[in-house]
Amino acid sequence: MGVINITPNSFSDGGEFNNSTKFLDQARYLIKHEADILDLGAESSAPMNKAIDTSEEIARFKEVVLPVLDQISPNIDLSIDTYKIETIQYLLKQKSIRAFYDKELLTWNDVSGQNHEAEVILRNYPKLKYIHCHNLVDDRSKTLDHMSYLSDDLCLENFFENSQHILDPCFGFSKTREQNFEVWKSAPVKYIRDYLPC
């Protein structure tokens, strides 16, 4: 997976690819170096950055990605990294995005974990894959504090019966180093095999 952030403030590449020319050059570079998936994000979820509103996120996709998306290999998997329902709804209606969806090459990468809202979208778009980063926050605005919302009683046995769903164990942001190691110790294949069946 090659990640391209069209943001001014992402921790790794903020400001580097937030115009169409630079975005397209980076997409082609990643594909040339054997990326199978391009993951595109228009909002930084790094804990030091504030959330942006939906209109700003959509504007970034409109200005940077949509004008040149048809110049990217049509056989690459495209992943849209957003936790905003309105953003994914808007993008799914765009012709250049639909070209990937129609070929079953479109994924929605949602860090919010608010699966009950996503189910409506997935029912309407059965070819859309969904990366689910499960957490127990009571609304999306608290996503970056999700380690404060834990439960030992969580049962995910039926969550991933639908082939559209992919589990992301959520390494990285909003966790301490110790919390990341804790997730790592319990998240590999053994975790998926032994723990999810409740």
Angle between helices 95-102 and 85-92 (to 10 degrees): 80
pLDDT at 194 exceeding the cut of 50: no
Task: Output the average pLDDT for the chain.
Answer: 81
Q: What is the pLDDT of residue 62?
A: 97
- CA terminus-to-terminus distance, the chain: 31
CA distance 20 to 172: 28
As beta bridge partners, residue 85 has: none
Nearest to 108 by CA among 66, 80, 75: 80
Segment 11-38 mean pLDDT: 91
Q: What is the pLDDT of residue 147?
A: 67
Which DSSP state fits 197? -
Least confident of 47-51, 66-70, 100-104, 134-138: 134-138
pTM here is: 0.78
User: In this structure, what token pair is assigned to residue 91?
Assistant: 């993008």
CA distance 132 to 170: 9
As beta bridge partners, residue 108 has: 80, 130
Which DSSP state fits 62? I
Segment 31-57 mean pLDDT: 88
The sheet that has 106-110: what strands, in order across it? 2-5, 37-41, 77-81, 106-110, 129-132, 165-167
Burial 81-106 (b: 16+ CB within 10 A, else e): bbbbbebbebbbeeebbeebbeeebb
Question: Is 2-194 CATH 3.40.50.300?
Answer: no
